[in-house]
Amino acid sequence: MSTPLLRITDLSVSYALPRRGTGLGTGAALREVSLDVRAGEILGIVGETGSGKTTLARATVGLVTPATGTITFDGVDIGGLQGSALRGFRRRGQVQLVFQDPLRSLDPDLTVGQLVSEPLAIAGVPRSEQRVRVEEAIGLVGLDPSTIHDRLPRQLSGGQRQRIALARAIVTRPQLLFCDEPVSALDVSNRNLVLSLLDRLRRELGLAVVIIAHDLSSLAGVADRIAVFYRSRLVESGPVEEVLTRPAHPYTGLLTASAPSVAHEDRLRPADLRLEQGAEPPKGGPDSCVFLARCRFAHEACHQQPLTTPLPGTADRTAACHAATTWPSQIATTSTSTAADQPAAAG
């Protein structure tokens, strides 16, 4: 397998947080995350709110400094860059981030033309080249430069704003693009348009794209691989089809069971994965698995957080679960006996 474009190894990020009465403390936003992004692929990152998705993107573009771990992009350790080296890396724009909220990230007083040319000016591209590059980028995202060039962000629709944010990101011809929830604020038709646009940009420009989302459904049709985050940790990763049809972490199982568009044979049901009604949630300590309190497969070993390790017998999958290879058969057994005992209760 070729060297990945981006390699993140044991990355931990903490934020300073005010603590009542005791001054400043820290809160972990990412813990011991290891993840690769390959040239030309679409990697989908999914996880509930606060699980660390945006922090991963911000650390990769140099907006937050890792507490520990390394981030290697195209063979260069970018996690440790500081001062002018960091500014130079960000100016070149080889890794770009499209922020979660395009309206807030676009300066309301700048026209589309000014917004899209700004990264070129920062990267030092001569003014004489900028106009052509701006029009090329606006055209690549499917908009007509002649009608949109002089408009302000408030004069654009939500879908157009998302495209302008994308044009601004690709104008520097990056190798890697992070899109933070690019479709969560869009209606279904705009959502599909933006996702197929990202797929086209990946093919035409050879870009690697990381799409961050809350739900698996929007990633299912576009991503090559999926990475699942839960409470600051990467709990599972692998090729999209395999993760969707044979999840290895109970949290991924819950996500797939709850996503109506993720239809597959032997479909999991949310009830197969949730704690039984009235059951006491397992009690954990600071070292326990992050999913312990919600996990019906918890056992003694789970009082120690499992490492994210390759899944036995697979080429390209990782999971952080002590029962990664055994819980699916527990469900099969339970479901079979439930079906036999109570034939009318299926669903």
Using rule CB under 6 A, residue 27 touches ligand ATP: yes
Is 54 a binding residue for Mg ion by CB under 5 A? The answer is yes
Instruction: For the CB of residue 332, give the shortest distance to ligand SF4 in the complex, in Å.
Output: 16
Q: Is 17 in the site for ligand ATP (CB under 6 A)?
A: yes
Query: Nearer Cβ to ligand SF4, position 99 or 297?
Result: 297
- From 237, 226, 214, 229, select the one nearest 290 (Cα to Cα): 229
72 binds Mg ion (CB under 5 A): no
Note the helical H segments in the chain. Answer: 53-60, 83-92, 102-105, 112-123, 127-140, 145-148, 158-170, 188-205, 217-220, 240-245, 250-258, 270-273, 327-341
Instruction: Give 39's DSSP letter.
Output: T
Q: Does 205 bind ligand SF4 (CB under 6 A)?
A: no
Q: Is 331 in the site for ligand SF4 (CB under 6 A)?
A: no
The minimum distance between CB 341 and ligand SF4, in angstroms, equals 25
Q: Is 210 in the site for ligand ATP (CB under 6 A)?
A: no
Residues 103-132 as x/- pattern, contact with ligand SF4 by CB under 6 A: ------------------------------
Q: Which tokens go with 145?
A: 């430069």
47 is a contact residue toward ligand ATP (CB under 6 A): yes
Task: Give the DSSP per-residue string, 101-170.
Answer: -HHHHS-TTS-HHHHHHHHHHHHT--HHHHHHHHHHHHHHTT--HHHHTT--GGGS-HHHHHHHHHHHHH
Q: Does 99 bind ligand SF4 (CB under 6 A)?
A: no
Minimum CB–partner distance for residue 347 and ligand ATP (Å): 30
Q: Among 7, 47, 56, which Cα is nearest to 29's? A: 56
Rounded to whole angstroms, how far apart are CA atoms 42 and 139? 22
In the complex, what is the shortest distance from the CB of residue 330 to ligand ATP, in angstroms, rounded to a whole number? 29
* Residue 328 found at the interface with ligand ATP (CB under 6 A): no
Neighbours of 262 (CB within 10 A): 21
Applying CB under 6 A, which of residues 298, 317, 318, 328 lies at the interface with ligand SF4?
A: 298
Q: Taking CB under 6 A as the rule, does residue 291 contact ligand SF4?
A: yes
CA atoms of 147 and 233, how far apart (whole Å):
45
Instruction: CB nearer to ligand SF4: give 64 or 228.
Output: 228
Q: Can residue 233 be called a binding residue for ligand ATP (CB under 6 A)? A: no
**CA dihedral over 64, 65, 70, 73, signed as positive or negative:** positive
Q: Is 52 in the site for ligand ATP (CB under 6 A)?
A: yes
Between 5 and 298, name the residue whose CB sits nearer to ligand SF4. 298
Using CB under 6 A as the binding rule, whether residue 44 contacts ligand ATP is answered as no
Of ligand ATP, ligand SF4, Mg ion, none, which one sits near residue 163, judging by CB under 5 to 8 A according to partner kind?
none
Among 226, 295, 311, 331, binds ligand SF4 (CB under 6 A): 295
Cβ of residue 215: shortest distance to Mg ion, in angstroms?
A: 13
Phi, psi of 47, deg, nearest 5: 170, 160
In one letter, which amino acid is 91? R
**What is the closest distance, in whole angstroms, from the C-beta atom of residue 104 to ligand ATP in the complex?**
13
Greatest pairwise CA separation for the chain in angstroms: 76
Q: Which amino acid is at 120?
A: L
- The CA dihedral of 268, 293, 213, 173, to the nearest 10 degrees, is -120
Chain position carrying tokens 């086209």: 200
Q: Is 62 one of the binding residues for ligand ATP (CB under 6 A)?
A: no
Which residues in this chain contact ligand ATP in the complex, by CB under 6 A? 15, 17, 27, 29, 47, 49-55, 214
Residues at the contact surface with ligand SF4, assessed by CB under 6 A: 249-250, 289, 291-292, 295, 297-298, 302, 306, 321-323
